[in-house]
Structure 1
Amino acid sequence: MDNSGEDDRGADLRAPGLHEAVFAGASIGLALIAADGRTLRDVNPFLCRLLGYMPGSLAGAPVTNLLTDRTPVLAPGIRRWRRADGNGVDLRLTITPAPHDGRGDADLVAVVEPVDADELVRAEQNRDALVAAGLGEWRWEATSGQVSLSRRAGRILGYPAGRSARWSTMQTGFVSEDHERIHGIVAAALARREPWEFESRFTRGNDGMEVAVGVRGAPTYGADDTLTGMVGIVRNVTRRIEAQKLLREREQRLRVATSLASLGIFEWHLLDDAAVWENERMFEIFGRRAEEGGVGKGEFLNRFLHPEDRPHVRRAITKALREDGILKVSGRIRHFGTGAWRSIEMAGRFERDEPDRLPRRLIGVVADVTDRLQAQERQTLLIRELHHRVKNTLATVQAIVGSTARTASSIDNFYEAFVGRIKSLSHTHSVLTEDTWQTAKLHGLLVNELTPYIETEEDGSLESRVSLIGPVVDLPSDIAVPIGMAIHELTTNAAKYGALSTRQGRITVSWSIVPGGEAGILQFAWCESEGPPVSVPSRQGFGSRLLQRVLTTQVQAEVRSEYAPEGFRLSMLAPLPARNAALNPLV
Structure 2
Amino acid sequence: MTGRAQHDPIDVDARRSAFDGALVGLALLSSDGNTVVVANPALHALLARPSGSLDGAPSTDLAAGPSSLHSGIRVWRRADGVEIDVRVRRSGDTLVVEAVDPDEAAHSEANRDAMADAGLGEWRWDRASGYVTLSHRAARILGQPPGRSVTWGVLRPFLIEPERVALLVEQAVTSLEPYRFETRLAIEGRGVVVQVSGQALTDENGAFTGMVGVVQDITTRIETRSELQAHDHRLRAATAVARLGIFEWHMLDDHAVWENDRMFEIFGHAPEDGTIGKTDFLNGILHPEDRASVRKAISAALREDRDLHISGRIRRKSDGAWRTIDMAGRFERDAPDRLPRRLIGVVADVTDRRLAEERQTLLIRELHHRVKNTLATVQAIVGSTARTATDIDSFYEAFVGRIKSLAHTHSVLTEATWQTASLTGLLLNELRPYAEVAEAGGEDGRVVLEGAPIDLPSDIAVPIGMAIHELTTNAAKYGALSNRTGRVTVAWDLEPGGPAGTLRLTWRETGGPPVQPPRRQGFGSRLLQRVLITQVQAEVTTDYAPDGFSLTMRAPLPKRNASLNPLA
**TM-score, normalised relative to structure 1:** 0.71
List runs of 5+ in structure 1 lacking aligned partners: 1-121
Aligned mates of 1:404, 1:366 — CA distance in 2: 60
Judge conservation of contact 1:123–1:231 (CA < 8 Å) in 2: no
Q: Which residue of 1 aligns with 2:181?
A: 198
Mapping for residues 555-570 of structure 1, pairs under 5 Å: 555-570=536-551
Whichever residue aligns with residue 312 of structure 2, its letter is G
Note the C-alpha offset of 1:178: 4.3
Q: Which residue of 2 aligns with 1:80?
A: none
Q: Which residue of 1 aligns with 2:307?
A: 326
Aligned mates of 2:309, 2:455 — CA distance in 1: 45
| Cα deviations by residue, 1:346-393 (Å, 9 ceiling, x for unpaired) | 111112222222222211111111111111211222222222222222
**Selected match of 2:147 from 148, 158, 162:** 162
Q: Which residue of 2 aligns with 1:466?
A: 447
Q: What secondary structure does 1:586 align onto?
A: coil
Aligned mates of 1:306, 1:185 — CA distance in 2: 61
* Compared CA separation, residues 268 and 328, structure 1 to 2 (3 A): same
**Selected match of 1:408 from 389, 396, 400:** 389
Judge conservation of contact 1:185–1:198 (CA < 8 Å) in 2: no
Q: Which residue of 1 aligns with 2:373?
A: 392
Q: What secondary structure does 1:216 align onto?
A: strand
| Cα deviations by residue, 1:431-483 (Å, 9 ceiling, x for unpaired) | 111223621111221122123334799xxx99822223333221110110111
Note the C-alpha offset of 1:584: 1.2
Aligned mates of 1:165, 1:400 — CA distance in 2: 106
Aligned mates of 2:550, 2:152 — CA distance in 1: 109
* Compared CA separation, residues 132 and 526, structure 1 to 2 (3 A): same
List runs of 5+ in structure 2 lacking aligned partners: 1-105
Count, aligned residues: 459
Whichever residue aligns with residue 482 of structure 1, its letter is P
Q: Which residue of 2 aligns with 1:376?
A: 357
Q: Which residue of 1 aligns with 2:132?
A: 147
| Cα deviations by residue, 1:138-190 (Å, 9 ceiling, x for unpaired) | 11235555433223323323444334555577567252684498459847973
* Compared CA separation, residues 241 and 462, structure 1 to 2 (3 A): farther
Whichever residue aligns with residue 190 of structure 1, its letter is L
* Compared CA separation, residues 377 and 462, structure 1 to 2 (3 A): farther
Judge conservation of contact 2:160–2:184 (CA < 8 Å) in 1: yes
Note the C-alpha offset of 1:234: 0.6
Q: What secondary structure does 2:432 align onto?
A: helix
* Compared CA separation, residues 578 and 238, structure 1 to 2 (3 A): same
**Selected match of 2:510 from 529, 538, 552:** 529
Q: Which residue of 1 aligns with 2:75?
A: none
1:504 aligns with 2:489: no
Q: What secondary structure does 2:412 align onto?
A: helix
Note the C-alpha offset of 1:249: 0.8
Judge conservation of contact 1:456–1:462 (CA < 8 Å) in 2: no
Whichever residue aligns with residue 181 of structure 2, its letter is F
Q: What secondary structure does 1:453 align onto?
A: coil
1:551 aligns with 2:532: yes
Mapping for residues 219-298 of structure 1, pairs under 5 Å: 219-224=200-205, 227-298=208-279
Aligned mates of 1:497, 1:239 — CA distance in 2: 96
Whichever residue aligns with residue 370 of structure 1, its letter is T
* Compared CA separation, residues 416 and 157, structure 1 to 2 (3 A): same
Q: Which residue of 1 aligns with 2:116?
A: 131
Judge conservation of contact 1:475–1:576 (CA < 8 Å) in 2: yes
Judge conservation of contact 2:331–2:341 (CA < 8 Å) in 1: yes
Q: Which residue of 1 aligns with 2:556?
A: 575
RMSD: 3.1
**TM-score, normalised relative to structure 2:** 0.73
| Cα deviations by residue, 1:36-85 (Å, 9 ceiling, x for unpaired) | xxxxxxxxxxxxxxxxxxxxxxxxxxxxxxxxxxxxxxxxxxxxxxxxxx
Whichever residue aligns with residue 152 of structure 1, its letter is R
Note the C-alpha offset of 1:536: 2.0
Whichever residue aligns with residue 180 of structure 2, its letter is E
Aligned mates of 2:108, 2:372 — CA distance in 1: 94
* Compared CA separation, residues 187 and 439, structure 1 to 2 (3 A): farther
Q: Which residue of 2 aligns with 1:42?
A: none
Whichever residue aligns with residue 223 of structure 2, its letter is E
